[in-house]
Amino acid sequence: MSELKELIQTADWKTEKHVPAIEAPDKIKKGESVKITVTIGKEIPHPNTTEHHISWAALYFLPDGEKFPYQIGRFEFGAHGESTQGPNTSTIYTSPEATCVLKTEKSGTLLAVSYCNIHGLWQNSKKIEVA
Ligand code: FE2
């Protein structure tokens, strides 16, 4: 039997264009609203064409010592050049970057997953500490 967790790949986001880069402060104050940005292809751009693109990303937060993650946001990247004229003709493209705002009174780990339409699922994580 295949497990979904076995299909989610990871690597260094600086050398692997599919891995979501998570930008967030290392330390925050209790209850402070902080901006979190998830970017796919931050260092090495991922192709963005009708045939090959990042379809979506999702961001979760797992408080330290807890079992279940909270979904912070889910982001659809919907335009990849397609039009009635055919593939790569619209000149309209959504870049795979999303920002949201989180507040928490708990330290924990941000987890991001992204989906490439031909290279599957990729993940990354980042600790966030509440002072
Ligand atoms: Fe890809």
Reported as a single tens digit per residue, the pLDDT across 19-57 is 999 999 999 999 899 999 999 999 999 999 999 999 999
55-78: average pLDDT: 98
70 inside domain: yes
Residue 33, token pair as written in the block: 């609203």
Q: CB–CB of 40/17 below 8 Å? A: yes
Q: What is the pLDDT of residue 98?
A: 98
2 inside domain: no
Active site residue 42: no
Structure confidence by residue, pLDDT tens digits, 86-129: 999 999 999 999 999 999 999 999 999 999 999 999 999 999 99
Active site residue 52: yes
Q: What is the pLDDT of residue 47?
A: 97
Active site residue 119: yes
Between CA 52 and CA 41 the distance in angstroms is: 13
Between CA 64 and CA 72 the distance in angstroms is: 16
* Domains held by the chain: number: 1
Q: What is the pLDDT of residue 58?
A: 98
115 inside domain: yes
4 inside domain: no
Residue 1 pLDDT exceeds 90: no
* CATH code, 124: 2.60.40.730
44 inside domain: yes
Instruction: Quote the ligand 1 centre to 130 CA distance (angstroms).
Output: 35
**By residue range, what is the domain housing residue 37?**
14-130
5-24: average pLDDT: 93
CA 37 to chain CA centroid, Å, is 8
6 inside domain: no
What pTM did the predictor assign? Answer: 0.94
102 inside domain: yes
CA 93 to chain CA centroid, Å, is 17
Instruction: Quote the ligand 1 centre to 131 CA distance (angstroms).
Output: 38
